[in-house]
Amino acid sequence: MKTANTLAPVQADRQMRAIVQTEYGSADVLRLEEIDQPIVQDNQVLVRVYAASINAGDWHLMRGTPFPIRLMFGGLLKPKIKILGCDMAGRVEAIGKDVTQFQPGDEVFGDLSESGFGAFAEYVCITEAALAMKPVTATFEEAATLPGAGLAALQGLRDVGQIQPGQKVLINGASGGVGSFAVQIAKAFGAEVTAVCSTKKMDMVRAIGADHIIDYTQVDVTKNGQHYDLILDAAAYRSVFDYLPALTPEGTYVLIGGSTSQFFQVMFVGPWISRTTRQKVKSLAAKPNQADLITLRDLMVAGKIVPWIDRRYNLSEVPAAIRHLEQRQVVGKVAISI
């Protein structure tokens, strides 16, 4: 992945507000500052950001944990990514001479995780491949909740899990950002969806269309005698071996989010399980791309997926928004109005 280009050429007489960090730590390291607005390069699009959303990756990058995050994105002692945020929606302000897909005035949304991040700012310069036209049925805030979580849900189900119509699919962590989109996308693919969440979040999961709901505070989904063709784990905080009895003999388990220890467990033992049994154990490495943004847009326009926004914050309130996310009580997504 590319790291943030915070040293891009700028126009000194034009300023913008942005949430900036110069050290790793809690949300206290984030500061609202006036900084120079970047100048669009030949292969870039300058977007006026109207909305963004928060992802778990934002607070991992903010804190620099787990440590491999620092190796992946640079900055062993201090972050090279000065402006966080990968999900955004806004309006095209200017384009470079090599840009062919967009024009000033176009309403767009995108995933900046391979374009330097920077969504927590009033303007951002990015390549056109990171963008797609905004769903016409969505507000800027709704569109901004879609890229990161939506891409993870789509690719986890379709590409890694190879979901098929009629399959029984279990979504663990169904009330979170990825999970809430996964429930809806799995339904759009024709699956029978069982959602796992806590008691107080059951109404939300029911509202987004789950066929069955399991309250994990009351029922252990790995021991209730049910079997699933595909388990998508967006809240992996227990051993993958616990889930194997809940898979059909040829079922697939896909880890998307959760603890670092569970990620490494799946990374190391998953290939062994997949070789020695008919069951498959995999993890997702999301790949942002324009084609999948368009797929998500079309699903939203068709009414197949609807973002569930837990809370809305202003740009200056990004630190509070990240603190809220870190409490792991968010239902759906947290949106930022810029």
Cα–Cα distance for residue pair 85/312, rounded to 1 Å: 15
∠ Cα 329 320 62 (to 5°): 90
CA distances from 120 to 6, 124, 278 (A): 13, 9, 45
Instruction: Give kind and range of the element (H or E) at residue 148.
Output: helix 147-155
Q: Checking phi first, is residue 85 left (phi over 0); if not, alpha (psi -120 to 50) or beta?
A: left
- Residue the block writes with tokens 């939300």: 204
Return d(Cα 72, Cα 148) in angstroms, integer: 18
pTM, two decimal places? 0.93
Q: Quick one: pLDDT at residue 13?
A: 66
Average pLDDT, the chain: 93
The per-residue pLDDT for 236 is 86
Pairwise CA distance, residues 230 & 98, whole Å: 43
Contact predicate 150/211, CB 8 Å: no
* Contact between 289 and 295 (Cβ < 8 Å): no
Q: What is the pLDDT of residue 2?
A: 38
Sequence-ordered strand ranges (E) for 41-83: 44-53
Amino acid residing at 185: I
Given a contact cutoff of 8 angstroms between Cβ atoms, the answer to whether 35 and 15 are in contact is yes
- Beta carbons within 10 angstroms of residue 1's beta carbon: 11
For residue 257, the model assigns a pLDDT of 87
- Please spell the DSSP secondary structure of 264-275, one letter per residue: HHHHHHHHHHHH
The closest of 338, 326, 332 to 26, measured between CA atoms, is 326
CB 196 within 8 A of CB 172: yes
Q: Which of 209, 212, 220, 218 is nearest to 182 (CA)?
A: 209
Residues of the chain with pLDDT under 50: 1-12
The predicted pLDDT at position 6 comes to 37
Give the integer Cα–Cα distance in Å for 267 and 319: 32
Q: CA 240, CA 325: separation in Å to the nearest integer?
A: 25
Contact criterion met (CB below 8 Å) for 32 and 316 = yes
